[in-house]
Amino acid sequence: MTTDEASPWLVVGLGNPGPEYAANRHNVGFMVADLLADRMGGRFKAHKSRAQVVEGRVGAPGPASRRVIVAKPMSFMNLSGGPTTALRDFYKVPVGHVIAIHDELDIDYGALRLKLGGGDNGHNGLKSITKSLGPDYFRVRFGIGRPPGRMDVAAFVLKDFSAAERKELDYFVDRAADAVETLIVDGLERAQSTYNS
């Protein structure tokens, strides 16, 4: 096992802190992070990096399992880079082991796309992380679709999922958590071929 393989992974769910944002489309990264923490049997604890973190393992017990830190920055979306960089430094995570989970307007609701690197597509959370880390981290993009009619994008992402969307939300969040685990254990190609839609 190389040093890089032995290095921990940092999974950052993007969102805004506070109960008024909890069910917003923009907070789907937090929702996936919550489920991953749940699966690892951990509870979020405050960390000095201005994030809540859970440490655990992903994958089959034994040499194949990977050490993972799941984090929710408590800095608000457009400042996500500060806590992410602080956590990367604290846990000594290589940039190639950082995964950001975020909402994506240009993908249909519930569809997933996994990729390494790229632009921020106007997403303030990614913009902030890229400014701090550079672009070479993984992204798990969770489709939320475009706003209806002439609704402002900022208003759309800060609204809760619709009643129709909520019927399938748990299933899609579950699938996104599976995709993150597959990316960590089996690599990007396997995760893309299984989950990209």
- Cβ(125)–Cβ(80) under 8 Å? yes
Half-sphere exposure of 117 (CA within 13 A, CB side): 3
Which residue among the candidates 26, 97, 102, 123 is catalytic per the annotation?
Answer: 26
Spatial separation of the C-alpha atoms in residues 111 and 127, rounded to whole Å: 22
> Across the strands, what pairs with 142?
103, 112
Burial class (CB in 10 A: 0-12, 13-18, 19+), 116: middle
Q: Is 102 one of the annotated active-site residues of the chain?
A: no
Spatial separation of the C-alpha atoms in residues 72 and 29, rounded to whole Å: 8
Catalytic residue IDs: 26
